[in-house]
Amino acid sequence: TDLSKIRNFSIIAHIDHGKSTLADRLIQACGGLTEREMSEQVLDNMDIEKERGITIKAQTVRLSYTAKDGETYELNLMDTPGHVDFAYEVSRSLAACEGALLVVDAAQGVEAQTLANVYQSIEHDHEIVPVINKIDLPAAEPERVAEEIEEIVGIQATGPWAEGGAVLASAKSGLGVEDVLEALVARIPPPQGDRDAPLKASLVDSWYDPYLGVVILVRVIDGVLKKGLNVRFMQGGTQHLVDRVGCFRPKRTDLAEIGPGEIGFITAQIKEVDQARVGDTITTVKGGADKPLPGYREPQPVVFCGLFPVDAADFEKLRESIGKLRLNDASFTYEMESSAALGFGFRAGFLGLLHLEIIQERLSREYDLDLITTAPSVVYRVHLGKTKNEDAKVIDIHNPADWPDVNRIDAIEEPWIKATIYTPDEYLGPILKLCQDRRGVQTNLTYVGGRAQVTYELPLNEVVFDFYDRLKSISRGYASFDYEQIGLREGDLVKMNILVNAEPVDALSLIVHRTVAEERGRGMCERLKDLIPRHLFKIPIQAAIGGKIIARETIAALRKDVTAKCYGGDITRKKKLLEKQKKGKARMREYGNVSIPQEAFIAALRMG
Ligand code: GDP
Ligand code: MG
């Protein structure tokens, strides 16, 4: 295809502002979908995505649009994952485009997460076309939102779209969709590339398809990708024979080739997504490029937790299910783990909290597994001093169970993030308090049109538990949150154990900052007191650091009056029963045999 007739773009939008709906409209307007097919949002494939309104795996669609100038354009619409946990995948998708549609809800206005994505888009030198969506809503304020876009994002948005302003649209009714197409043809620059140069294609995304094996989404920079070509993945170091090239319209369509500037897919008999890492560069084995494209990064799990089957008999099923999920998501890691309280399970690592939730949910929903998830943990860098038998060394720890002997620890470093929170003014007070309580350091606070944008530096371990939930609840859902990692900082961290009936419950141990340990310990003991049902004996619940108890609660014994039925008659029978009950108590206590309900594990970790 003539390069000047190609437009590659993505859509940036805050969750629920209408990205998927608009994408479907564009596909429909270009003849890719019938009215009936429109009833389902095509770009969001999985149920979970649909229900949560987020996009997990990027998908790309090639459209053919005949513009008002009479020319037919090839439009490649790239759908990017909608969450901050997938920031790297987003950046690879953006790098494959020359422009972006910025979709902003005409009633909601600009949100923090939109901003983060817009800035990323600007960093990729994108031409950004603002689209103010949902203008059909009674609460729509397109003029105000246009001004807000100019003020906050710093791109033109006021005035008619033909003169550089935002396109006004209702993706729901279809109003303005034609204008969106015209604006993107007119404003987004065509790609550049050299057909005769050695092949350089960027690996934008990969996923597992049960029929085709691993499908790889590519953007060709230079050269041409064809069936039968022997290619090399420059970062992965593997070689493959391309057996299919094509695109999605949105139905899968085979093509003769993918030329420079184009986006499409290839298959090459690859069995695991692990072998097709996002960000890799594909070139030919013979006469290939000598340098890979910049920006490759290994996936780096930042949040870890234990996953255990509620029913120990489900362990094999869990092993199989995790293995299957991993076929399609190379960004999470897992290894076997065993816990005294929970039996056999896995320790898994995720890109972020949402990623963790998605995997957990897919395991329980798609694979029908009841799981206990332990407290999420970040990765701590622990500096160990020299001992008689061992040299000083530095280790990374993400499982409280592996926490070393305190006497050997010289220093501990923990990951920090920079959080950007965007909120209506009235919720600012409680949000600042929340950040302060979580050891946050405020770095900036600005107001834009009745809304506050505040940035905090926060330790990631204070965010992994229930920060989002708290933020959402104190702002009644209005605050938005975005974060990036900013590296490690030294912290005075300790391991806190929870003892139930004098037995440490490993699944409840936690790494906490010393200054908040007592408060957290007290909170956990109090919550556990309510979460663990009474038994026939008294149950002490304690929080301890090393040998030192820092908090304690007691669950009173449930006194089951076993003599009640004896009507005071047979006194020897009464005595026997009492003795039996006492013995029962002793045996229970001896084994520390307390049944802790499954919900207690997670609920106990929610901070009050
Ligand atoms: P996404 O999260 O950005 O992909 O948003 P969706 O496309 O899933 O849309 C979120 C919600 O807004 C859905 O309930 C849509 O039906 C609705 N929606 C999308 N566009 C419009 C619009 O133009 N007008 C109205 N009234 N609702 C819309
Ligand atoms: Mg969507």
Model confidence at 560: pLDDT above 80:
no
pLDDT band at 246 (very low <50, low <70, confident <90, very high): very high
Q: How many CB atoms lie within 10 A of CB 562?
A: 15
Predicted confidence at residue 567, as pLDDT, reads: 52
Q: Which residue has the higher pLDDT, 329 or 21?
A: 21
pLDDT band at 285 (very low <50, low <70, confident <90, very high): very high
Predicted confidence at residue 52, as pLDDT, reads: 45
The answer to the question of whether 134 is labelled as a binding residue is yes
Cα–Cα distance measured from residue 39 to residue 172, given in angstroms and rounded to the nearest whole number: 11
| Atom 6 of ligand 1, nearest CA residue | 18
Phi, psi of 14 (to 5 degrees): -75, 155
Cα–Cα distance measured from residue 601 to residue 341, given in angstroms and rounded to the nearest whole number: 11
CA of 362 to the centre of ligand 1 (A): 24
Q: Which atom of ligand 1 is nearest to the CA of 171?
A: 23
Q: Which residue has the higher pLDDT, 324 or 210?
A: 324
The answer to the question of whether 461 is labelled as a binding residue is no
Model confidence at 196: pLDDT above 90:
yes
Mean pLDDT of the chain: 86
Model ipTM value = 0.99
For a substitution probing ligand 1, which of 14, 21, 113 has the most ligand atoms within 8 Å of its CB?
21
Which H helix or E strand runs over 214?
Answer: strand 213-222
Lowest average pLDDT, out of 156-160, 196-200, 310-314, 383-387, goes to: 310-314
pLDDT band at 569 (very low <50, low <70, confident <90, very high): low
CA of 42 to the centre of ligand 1 (A): 14
Which residues does 174 contact at the CB level (< 8 Å), separation at least 6?
Answer: 25, 29
Among candidate residues 467, 594, 581, the one with its CA nearest the CA of residue 538? 594
Q: Which residue has the higher pLDDT, 551 or 534?
A: 551
pLDDT band at 589 (very low <50, low <70, confident <90, very high): very low
Residue-wise DSSP of 147-193:
HHIIIII-S--SS-GGGT-PEE-BTTTTBTHHHHHHHHHHHSPPP--
Environment class of 513 (CB within 10 Å of its CB; exposed 0-12, middle 13-18, buried 19+): middle
* β-sheet with 303-309: strand ranges across: 333-339, 343-350, 303-309, 371-373
**Beta-bridge partners for 480:** 422
For a substitution probing ligand 1, which of 14, 16, 49, 101 has the most ligand atoms within 8 Å of its CB?
16
230-233/99-105 β-pairing: unpaired
Residue that has been written with the tokens 């049109």 in this structure: 449
Residue that has been written with the tokens 């898994």 in this structure: 348
Model confidence at 556: pLDDT above 80:
yes
Lowest average pLDDT, out of 178-192, 535-549, 554-568, goes to: 554-568
| Atom 24 of ligand 1, nearest CA residue | 134
| Atom 25 of ligand 1, nearest CA residue | 134
Average pLDDT of the residues in 513-538 = 89
Predicted confidence at residue 83, as pLDDT, reads: 62
Query: pLDDT exceeding 90 applies to what percent of the chain?
Result: 50
Maximum average pLDDT range among 224-238, 388-402, 445-459, 524-538:
224-238
Model confidence at 591: pLDDT above 80:
no
Environment class of 434 (CB within 10 Å of its CB; exposed 0-12, middle 13-18, buried 19+): buried
Q: For 320-473, where are the E strands, in sequence order?
A: 333-339, 343-350, 371-373, 380-384, 393-397, 409-424, 441-448, 451-459
The reported pTM is: 0.72
Cα–Cα distance measured from residue 83 to residue 454, given in angstroms and rounded to the nearest whole number: 19
CA of 136 to the centre of ligand 1 (A): 11
Inter-helix orientation angle 315-328/353-366, to 10°: 120
Model confidence at 342: pLDDT above 90:
no
Structure tokens at 377: 């943990």
Cα–Cα distance measured from residue 9 to residue 145, given in angstroms and rounded to the nearest whole number: 22
Structure tokens at 7: 């437009």
Predicted confidence at residue 561, as pLDDT, reads: 60
Are the C-beta atoms of residues 481 and 468 closer than 8 Å to each other? yes
Q: Which residue has the higher pLDDT, 225 or 59?
A: 225
Model confidence at 3: pLDDT above 80:
yes
pLDDT band at 420 (very low <50, low <70, confident <90, very high): confident
The answer to the question of whether 135 is labelled as a binding residue is yes
Cα–Cα distance measured from residue 367 to residue 513, given in angstroms and rounded to the nearest whole number: 37
Model confidence at 456: pLDDT above 80:
yes
The answer to the question of whether 136 is labelled as a binding residue is yes
Cα–Cα distance measured from residue 53 to residue 105, given in angstroms and rounded to the nearest whole number: 15
Are the C-beta atoms of residues 93 and 58 closer than 8 Å to each other? yes
Q: Which residue has the higher pLDDT, 45 or 246?
A: 246
**Coil, strand, or helix at residue 408?**
helix
Average pLDDT of the residues in 559-583 = 59
Report residues whose beta carbon is within 6 angstroms of any ligand 1 atom. 13, 15-21, 53, 133-134, 136-137, 170-172
Structure tokens at 525: 């003991």
The answer to the question of whether 21 is labelled as a binding residue is yes
For a substitution probing ligand 1, which of 49, 172, 180 has the most ligand atoms within 8 Å of its CB?
172
Predicted confidence at residue 241, as pLDDT, reads: 97
Q: For 287-407, where are the E strands, in sequence order?
A: 303-309, 333-339, 343-350, 371-373, 380-384, 393-397
Maximum average pLDDT range among 294-303, 472-481, 535-544, 566-575:
535-544
Structure tokens at 101: 């549609």
